[in-house]
Copies of this chain bind each other. A is one copy, B any other.
Amino acid sequence: MRSFVRAAELGQLQQAADELGVTQQAVSKRIAALERELGVRLFTRTARGVELTLDGQAFLPHARSIIAGVDRAVTAIRPGSRALRIDVLGLRSAQAVILHDYWRSHPETELDVVTLRVDDPRTAVAAVQAGDVDATFRTITDPAALPRDLRMIRAFDSPLELVVGPRHPLASARALTPPQLRGHRIWVPGIAPRSEWAEFYDQLTTEFDLRVDAAGPNFGNEVLLDTLADSADVGTLVGARDRYIWPTSYDLRRIPIVNPTIAYPISLILPRTAPHPGLRGIINHFGSLACLPETTWLPSWAATPRRGDGDITSHRR
């Protein structure tokens, strides 16, 4: 492919071969193989060199794009100077959605989103220290437990919504207050014990006297959806920004929780010294996200809602 592109740019197989450090015959054979594989002629051979055919012209930009893709792929994992790599809890979580939004408005950013798949946030923190990832969206709830060489910043608050099936008694509500959830079973699978999320749900259930079952194992998304769709008494909680997609046949409803809004404070942990330069833009991006009302309930380690740039003049969209 590179031989083709270079030959197309230079108009000569000979020059391309010289640049690539092989013989002209090698390039000729590469092009011939490519043409044979594709079933079309890419060049017309002339006495002065080669010239792209129509098919070659059409193929060229694609070839360039493929090569660029390969180069990006290599730099994404090149040991030493690799692309910005951020750990999220799940690829459909609000964290990933925010990163995706950022990337869409800054498509030139070399950004890779990964999930460490570890339960304990300390393990994720160690990965940041080791340089395996450049930052993690995990949370250390005890400020004293955060290593000195790391910094944790409040990224944004993720308001929670209740998801229920059509037979659920709350299914037709437009909005719910936390007391209204009392007595209903709420199943939030996949929460690792002793993780920051477990602590969040602990505080939440204590505060509002709820019945949140966050201990059970995660059997997969489909089991959860099936359960929700059929059940008349089980619901689950998801972040308002979480991009969970399910077949419309499931007929599930997302119901905001208000008065107070319940939010999980998502934070970003990154090295204190010499963080990856690409992080700056992402951190700035957090500032442009909507703030939640003052009355929002938050866990103890983040008692007050996050404030935007505007501070007092907050309440922007």
Contacts and interface: CB of A to CB of B under 8 A. Distances in A.
Interface string A104-134: 0000000010111000000000010000110
Interface in A61-107: 61-63, 65-66, 69-70, 72-74, 76-79, 82-83, 85
Interface stretch (A50-58, A205-213, A226-234): A50-58
Contacts of A54: 85, 114, 116, 127, 132-133
Interface in A17-49: 38-40
Q: Mostly helix, strand, loop or mixed at chain A's interface? A: helix
Nearest to A37: B74
A40 B73 contact: no
A246 interface: no
Interface in A115-167: 115-116, 127, 132-133
Interface size class of A (residues with CB under 8 A): 20 to 34
A59 interface: yes
A73 to B, nearest CB: 3
Contacts of A61: 112
Contacts of A66: 66, 69-70, 73
7 nearest CB pairs, A to B: A62-B73, A58-B112, A57-B114, A66-B69, A55-B77, A58-B76, A54-B114
Given A54-B127, A58-B83, 13 more contacts: A38-B74, A54-B85, A54-B114, A57-B112, A57-B114, A57-B115, A58-B76, A58-B114, A59-B77, A61-B112, A63-B73, A66-B70, A66-B73
